[in-house]
Amino acid sequence: MQSDQNFLMVLRFLGTNFHGWQIQKNAISVQEAFQDALFQVTKSVIDIKGCSRTDSGVHANSYCVSARISIEINEKNLALAINKFLPNDIRVMKCIKVNNDFHARYSCIAKEYVYLIYHDYVLDPFLHGRCLHFWYPLDIKLINELASTFVGTHDFSAFCTEDMREKKNMKRNVHHFVVQEKNKLVEFKIKADGFLYNMVRILIGTLLEANYRKMTKDDLMKILLSKDRKHAGPTVPPCGLYLNKVFYEEFVL
């Protein structure tokens, strides 16, 4: 009898047509589409582990899934077989055999998100739904300086959307937070050991507001220390957000 093999699969997807990763009662999700495709290959219902929740409309350059599979198949053929049954906006880019105790979520030590803004009066139509269209002046040097306020370990309660989940530890360690502009695209890149609900989108919205109001690092630190969502800026739309990299002890994906 074929013993289970634990596989790590790296997905890349456009989130425009999906209501996030997690299965929903009345809406299609990335997880549902992936599980349906995996069932077509294995002919069994397999418990899959996703590395993170992603919100409706959020994209992924690298999204990691682990699953124990009992069929005789190698990594390359497993990826090709699943892709055959996936919609065109989701693809398995890589498949790796991992240790039996590997878990896509709990083995993760850090994640990196990217948020894209198209900075021009007219939006490139090929980027529709894949970035935030923003035509107001941006002081990239100022925004970079302000973004550094959030590097380090802080309580990010002020930058989290409240929901029905139980209140928990709101501290996160941000490793880096940098902003750069090239060919009209402004890229916000943030890496941390974890993220709160809507944390990245609220941080970006706050930085855009701070840019407009010419705020200082002291102003942002006051918002951070307040631990009060009402003092932070707006939540920017999900269309510009990408899960960019997932970090594990053994490798980066």
Residues marked active site are found at 55
- Indicate the pairing of strand 5-13 with strand 132-133: unpaired
- Three-class DSSP category at 133: strand
Terminal-to-terminal C-alpha distance of the chain = 32
Long-range residue pairs from 69-73, CB within 8 A, at least 24 positions apart, any chain: 69/4, 69/5, 69/7, 69/42, 70/2, 70/3, 70/4, 70/5, 70/42, 70/44, 71/2, 71/41, 71/42, 72/2
DSSP-assigned states of every residue in 84-110? HHS-TTEEEEEEEEE-TT--TTTTEEE
Tell me if 224 sits within 8 A of 157, measured CB to CB: no
Give dist(CA 118, CA 135) in Å, integer: 8
The tokens for 238 are 């999900």
